[in-house]
Amino acid sequence: MSPTATTAADQALAAMRAAVFGADPMGAPPPFEPTIQAPQDPGAPVHAAPGGADELGDFLEAAGLMAYDPAAITRIYAGHPQRLLRRLWQTLVPISLFLLGVGWDRFSGALANPERARNRARECAELLAALGPAFIKAGQALSTRPDIVPPVLLDALAQLQDQLPGFDPALAMACIEDDLGQPVSAIYAHLEREPFSAASLGQVHRGVLKGGQKVAVKVQRPGLREQITLDLYIVRNIAAWLNRNIRLIRSDLVALIDELGKRVFEEMDYLHEAANADRFRELHRDNARIAVPRIFHEATSRRVLTMEWIEGVKLTNLDAVRAIGVDPDEMVSVGVNCSLQQLLEDGFFHADPHPGNLLALADGRLAYLDFGMMSEVSRESRTGLIQAVVHLVNRDFGSLSKDFVSLGFLGEEVNLEPIVPAFESVFAQALEMGVSRMDFKAVTDDLSGVMYRFPFRVPPYYALIIRSLVTLEGIALSVDSEFKILGAAYPYFARRLMEDPDPQLRRSLREMLYEGDEFRWQRLESLIGSASLQSQLDLEGLLDQVLDFLFSAQGGLLRRQLVEAAVERMDQLAWRTTLRLGRRLPQPLLPPGLRRRLPEAQRQGGPLLDLEPLQRLNAILQDLPGFEPRMLLQRLPRLLNEPDLRAMGVAMARGLAERGVVRLVRDVLVSPA
């Protein structure tokens, strides 16, 4: 296809855009956003000037929504179909035109030209930015997936993280004064009028408080709440239609949209974000590798957030991270461990960890920013996730299917029998390589196929967990193309399984370590070895948990194995000692049975007390970084006070007595044939 033909096609598309949207040279529609008038008097409120009386009423009512309320949003927009049609026109038409242009370029071969591909990628990012916050959020998610998005588009979408176009600084200053009730000069010693960066929901200005603290001041975009409510109304109705008419969709899409709407409304409330930041900082105050900006509440409102200024570089800017003397791989490890702690320990996690919200600091800390989108995981769900990992590692696909029921992915009434072999087909081959080398994306793709075939439903809250992990994995892949999220996560799972006193996890630990009545020392070694890879491993606590397990109800089989091994070895010791003493006594004085067995004393050798279970456990502990024998000696008083230890002593005495009687009759008194 000739360049002339390609140019002609572009001109035709541009003409179509102009016919729809006017003479905008970018061809992108303006998002629905009422005109916001900057006040002449800095102390006067900001006024909206929509197109008509009905729209003014809608605008004011939508602006007054402080929480996500689907019924209220429906009441606002259901009576005005022209608003719905206008927004659909503003979104579907430009997207279709863009896709048509890309399709033409692919057909004509123009995309093979690197410059042409970069232009299309830039056009895609600009289109998403023009369509509004919902589309920007989608672009941000894609910008963290180098395994899905080609590099040229990845670079363009990365600009959506924190390099979006800002809005009029006069509007920002007016919003600050309107919300905080004071002139800007009364609050800040200095505040830059031009924004430092802009994101989907607001823009950030650098400043200095009267007390001299450097701060970042985030100001919300004008008209944001009104546009969000309309987009949510449209998407929610599309989701409802899909649920009613597309039988292949089993998930409750409306519930997913409602969950997203709730989170977005929380994100638009900067007072809520400030509370989230305080809670997050408190939860991680003992982690020397995590930094959280301080919130200045006296200069914070629903639309204005003033926080400590933190100097750092984006985690995905590898050259800049190395330039400040920080290892990007180490930063990824810190981020993965922190995210797992959020999900599985605290139950309060950052649901939007995109590259713009994670900064590497020169002192080796990882800074988290933007706490608007947070979520919580119940204790039961956190335990269920760890149990699912245990059953996956054990290849116990029957129990794994039950885990999906307890986690809410399957209903109680679902027949699990056909799902078990489906799980086996998905996971068995991947497990052959080991958990640490499992390809998470390939497995989840295969699992998606299983979810289509069976009545799975993704719980609404879980969508945010998936988003958080997928985003985190995308960031890690940009640093290390060989990164495996499960390999990075398993040491944390192992540590939690070894250290957590939760009764359900104690049962899961027993499932992991036993196969029937056989204790799997190799699994214990693997589990402790994986747990030791955690930089935050509490070795003293781990030893206590090993002892807790040994003397718990779940450790009964292990105690019995230790008693049996001890009885076996002590019986051998006693018999060998008897034979050696017999060789020193006059032969006529010995019983005939003992006399005939004296040659056995020369054939028996080796250590007398080689208790295999204790040797295996000692070898495992010796390999732990920082382990010292004194740690076990310090626990002797506790061991001596264990009732089960005394019970083990009684069992050993009984076992030795029984064996002694058998030896006396069989080996001493009775002459061998």
pLDDT one-digit tens code per residue, 544-582: 766 776 676 656 666 777 777 778 777 777 777 777 776
pLDDT, tens only, 153-180: 877 887 776 566 788 999 999 999 999 9
Predicted pLDDT of residue 195: 93
Predicted pLDDT of residue 451: 76
Predicted pLDDT of residue 598: 62
Higher pLDDT, residue 620 or 454: 454
pLDDT grade for 216, boundaries at 50, 70 and 90: very high
Q: Which of 202-216, 261-275, 304-318, 643-657 is predicted least confidently? A: 643-657
pLDDT grade for 41, boundaries at 50, 70 and 90: very low
Q: Are strands 374-376 and 348-350 parallel, antiparallel or unpaired?
A: antiparallel
Question: Contact 60/229 with Cβ under 8 angstroms?
Answer: no
Cα distance between residue 76 and residue 62, in whole Å: 7
DSSP calls for 103-162: HHHHHHTGGGSHHHHHHHHHHHHHHHHHH-HHHHHHHHHHTT-TTTS-HHHHHHHHTTTT
Cα distance between residue 591 and residue 19, in whole Å: 116
SS3 at position 340: helix
Asked whether the predicted pLDDT for residue 519 surpasses 80, the reply is no
Higher pLDDT, residue 334 or 141: 334
Predicted pLDDT of residue 188: 96
> What's the distance, CA 465 to chain centroid?
6
pLDDT grade for 33, boundaries at 50, 70 and 90: very low
Asked whether the predicted pLDDT for residue 294 surpasses 90, the reply is yes
pLDDT grade for 475, boundaries at 50, 70 and 90: confident
Predicted pLDDT of residue 219: 96
Q: What are the start-end ranges of the E strands in 492-610? A: 514-515, 518-519
SS3 at position 260: helix
Choosing from 179, 258, 269, 352, which is the catalytic residue? 352
DSSP calls for 370-388: --SSEEE--HHHHHHHHHH
Q: What are phi and psi of 214, to 5 degrees?
A: -75, 135
Closest C-alpha among 150, 92, 89, 161 to residue 121: 150
Number of residues written out for the chain? 673
Average pLDDT over residues 74-84: 78
Could you say which DSSP state residue 289 is in?
T
Task: Return all residues near 517 (Cβ < 8 A) that are at least 6 apart.
Answer: 557
Q: 349 pairs with which residues across the strands?
A: 375
Q: Vertex 141, ends 137 and 144: CA angle to 5°?
A: 140
Predicted pLDDT of residue 386: 82
> What's the distance, CA 583 to chain centroid?
69
Q: Residue 303: how many CA atoms within 13 Å on its side-chain side? A: 21
Distinct helix (H) and strand (E) counts, the chain: 30, 15
Active site residue 352: yes
Cα distance between residue 210 and residue 608, in whole Å: 77
